[in-house]
Structure 1
Amino acid sequence: MTHPVRFTAAITREGQWYVARCLEVEVASQGESLDQALDNLREALELYFEDVDLTELPVTPILAPVTVELPQP
């Protein structure tokens, strides 16, 4: 039996690829489109959790913006 669990994905564009990273666990995937990257991440997460003890699921991170001062290029 399965049940849905929501995770947080951070997606960046790297060249021709979209890279989707799960923030709760160290799983990432990529695709040629945003939707493909998310679909591939979903599949990678399902495979990852096949071998993980599910008694304690990862905690959702607190997301907060951070501003830093950087030198001018």
Structure 2
Amino acid sequence: MLAAERTWDIEGDVDAELRHKLAERLWWVLVLADQLGVDAPRACADTMDRIDAGLTRTLRGAGA
């Protein structure tokens, strides 16, 4: 993140390095989910649905 914000210099293509690092972290999360028997896509979808529902309730409560 610091390299992407240009506050920490790194050698090479900052954007390519950022894409690589994000993909690498995602890969590890998916490996961990698999090892723990977690359906990662389902867990993500369920979580996003809960967040969306909560935000919708909040906005309705705020009169939006």
TM-score (norm 2): 0.32
Which structure has the greater CA radius of gyration?
2
Greater per-residue helix proportion? 2
* Greater RCO, 1 or 2 (C-alpha within 8 Å, sep 6+): 1
